[in-house]
């Protein structure tokens, strides 16, 4: 199996977990190995130059046995159909791990948005909705932001969708600005969600974050939010990176300077102190906690043997391949998997969807309280499953999630 194909990785992870459920759902299991629907579209956009340029986009809808398809819209030049299929699969598992009444979906457009003007970006976003609006809706498929998409893009999309169906329908997209139905707490959820999981995990192991040396690969939106919180936890950031490379300082990096550079859209190559290193070197730094927050397939069977972290927490989707998982488990390096570690995003998106559909909105404190409870309850279930079956945390989470999905399919007669 190619470790470079994220969809094969997702299928392998499901097959590994199903060994603990075999015999109970043998009719249903083959049906979740592939998405229920894959849509490929061409989106023509009139560029500022007057040229008509075609953009290819994919929508994968993996499984809706427990509720509407959910999750992100990715704009990236390296998007592939298999990546979108994998991410939709992982989203089904993620939603079920958190016990959310949702299924998994994913959108992806092959584009480097940095090369587009704002007008071109808006036309692309509206064109995408024009091609797919018949397949989405608040009770069918509810997208949200992901890589290189944001609240502004969601605003264009929900406006276009509402125009096409003839009435205002804010619950079709989440991650929107507050002024058009976004949820309070979404901004802080990206900062707090990972912390709820990490602190709960360490508490279960009778440990704390105090003094822990942390490496965060990729100071993007989510990674930067995490970096900003580190000072308050008593932990020490010793390494991070961006698209130009990494920086490292054993005694601790200057978080204020990193935040200033990234918020001003500058490269970490302009960081004044510490050592400049590559992204691959960053993954192999000696540290207490390593947090991959970039893209898929960062830790593979080739470099897993060189990882020196005591604990890994996946913020990105699929940064560790199945082969690497096996190596890390054999080396007693626990991994808090992406389907739990970064599930705060889809959880608060679900909260936004619920508020939109009810036309009743919660306070920031309510959102944070509900998020904390969801994350801590899910972690407890995953830890119990992993200990019961003597498996890695990822497999424990998959067993929990797949049992919920397959049971829903079985009682529905699928």
DSSP for 39-71 reads EEEEEEEE-TTS-EEEEEEEEEEEE-SSSSEEE
Q: Are residues 158 and 224 in the same domain?
A: no
274: left (phi over 0), alpha (psi -120 to 50) or beta: left
Q: Are residues 163 and 252 in the same domain?
A: no
Question: Which CATH number does the domain housing residue 311 bear?
Answer: 3.40.50.720
User: What was the pLDDT predicted at 2?
Assistant: 43
Q: Are residues 106 and 236 in the same domain?
A: no
Q: Are residues 165 and 217 in the same domain?
A: no
**Would residue 331 count as lying in a domain?**
yes
Residue 297 CB-half CA count within 13 A = 13
Cα separation, 210 vs 153, in Å, equals 39
10 Å CB burial of residue 188 (0-12, 13-18, 19+) is middle
Q: Are residues 220 and 335 in the same domain?
A: yes
* Cβ–Cβ under 8 Å, residues 298 and 320: yes
User: What was the pLDDT predicted at 71?
Assistant: 82
How many CB atoms are located within 10 Å of the residue 129 CB? 22
Using one digit for the tens of pLDDT, what is the confidence trace for 269-321? Answer: 999 899 999 999 999 999 999 999 888 889 999 999 999 999 999 988 889 99
**Would residue 177 count as lying in a domain?**
no
Q: Are residues 191 and 144 in the same domain?
A: no
**Would residue 408 count as lying in a domain?**
no
Which of 341, 360, 375 is the last residue before a domain boundary?
A: 341
Cα separation, 274 vs 253, in Å, equals 7
**Would residue 14 count as lying in a domain?**
no
10 Å CB burial of residue 130 (0-12, 13-18, 19+) is middle
Phi, psi dihedral angles at 388 (to 5 degrees): -60, -40
How many CB atoms are located within 10 Å of the residue 279 CB? 17
Give residue 60's domain range.
34-169
106 is catalytic: yes
| Number of domain units in the chain | 2
**Would residue 404 count as lying in a domain?**
no
**Would residue 116 count as lying in a domain?**
yes
**Would residue 351 count as lying in a domain?**
no
Instruction: Quote the pTM value.
Output: 0.90
Which of 341, 356, 374 is the last residue before a domain boundary?
A: 341
Q: Are residues 39 and 99 in the same domain?
A: yes
Q: Are residues 165 and 191 in the same domain?
A: no
User: What was the pLDDT predicted at 1?
Assistant: 42
Q: Are residues 230 and 121 in the same domain?
A: no
Q: Are residues 99 and 221 in the same domain?
A: no
* Cβ–Cβ under 8 Å, residues 90 and 104: yes
User: What was the pLDDT predicted at 187?
Assistant: 75
Q: Are residues 206 and 149 in the same domain?
A: no
**Would residue 19 count as lying in a domain?**
no
Residues of the chain with pLDDT under 50: 1-2
User: What was the pLDDT predicted at 407?
Assistant: 98
Q: Are residues 101 and 237 in the same domain?
A: no
Cα separation, 83 vs 152, in Å, equals 24
The residue from 70, 106, 212, 262 that is catalytic is 106
Which of 341, 375, 405 is the last residue before a domain boundary?
A: 341
Using one digit for the tens of pLDDT, what is the confidence trace for 102-153? Answer: 999 999 999 999 999 999 999 999 999 999 999 999 999 999 998 899 999 9
């Amino acid at each position: 199996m190619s470790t470079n194909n994220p969809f094969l990785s997702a299928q392998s992870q499901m097959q590994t977990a199903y060994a603990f459920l075999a015999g109970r759902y043998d009719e249903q299991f083959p049906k979740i190995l592939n998405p229920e629907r894959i849509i490929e579209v061409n989106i023509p956009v009139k560029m500022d130059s007057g040229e008509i340029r075609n953009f290819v986009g994919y929508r994968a809808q993996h499984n809706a046995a427990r509720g509407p398809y959910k999750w992100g819209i990715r704009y990236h030049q390296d998007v592939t159909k298999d990546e979108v299929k994998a991410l939709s699969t992982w989203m089904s598992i993620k939603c079920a791990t958190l016990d959310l009444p949702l299924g998994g979906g994913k959108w992806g457009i092959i584009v480097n948005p940095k090369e587009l003007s704002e007008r071109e970006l808006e036309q692309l976003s509206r064109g995408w909705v024009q091609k797919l609006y018949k397949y989405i809706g608040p009770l069918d498929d509810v997208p949200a932001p992901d890589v290189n998409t944001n609240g502004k893009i969601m605003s264009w999309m929900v406006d276009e969708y509402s125009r096409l169906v003839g009435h205002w329908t804010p619950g079709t997209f989440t991650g929107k600005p507050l002024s058009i139905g976004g949820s309070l707490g979404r901004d802080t959820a990206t900062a707090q969600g990972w912390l709820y999981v990490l602190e709960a995990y360490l508490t279960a192991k009778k440990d704390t974050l105090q003094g822990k040396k942390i490496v965060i690969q990729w100071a993007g939106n989510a990674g930067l939010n995490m970096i900003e919180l580190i000072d308050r936890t008593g932990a020490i950031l010793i390494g991070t990176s961006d698209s130009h490379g990494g920086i490292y300082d054993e005694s601790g990096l200057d978080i204020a300077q990193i935040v200033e550079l990234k918020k001003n859209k500058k490269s970490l190559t302009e960081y004044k102190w510490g050592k400049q290193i590559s992204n691959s070197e960053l993954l192999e730094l000696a540290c207490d906690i390593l947090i991959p927050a970039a893209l898929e397939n960062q830790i593979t069977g080739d470099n897993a043997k060189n990882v020196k972290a005591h604990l890994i927490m996946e913020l990105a989707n699929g940064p560790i391949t199945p082969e690497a998982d096996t190596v890390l488990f054999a080396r007693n390096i626990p991994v808090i998997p992406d389907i739990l570690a970064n599930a705060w995003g889809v959880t608060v998106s679900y909260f936004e969807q619920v508020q939109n559909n009810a036309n009743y909105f919660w306070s920031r404190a309510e959102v944070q309280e509900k998020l904390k409870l969801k994350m801590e309850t899910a972690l407890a279930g995953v830890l119990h499953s992993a200990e019961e079956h003597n498996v890695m945390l990822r497999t424990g989470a998959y067993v929990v999630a797949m049992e919920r999905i397959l049971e829903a399919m079985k009682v529905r007669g699928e």
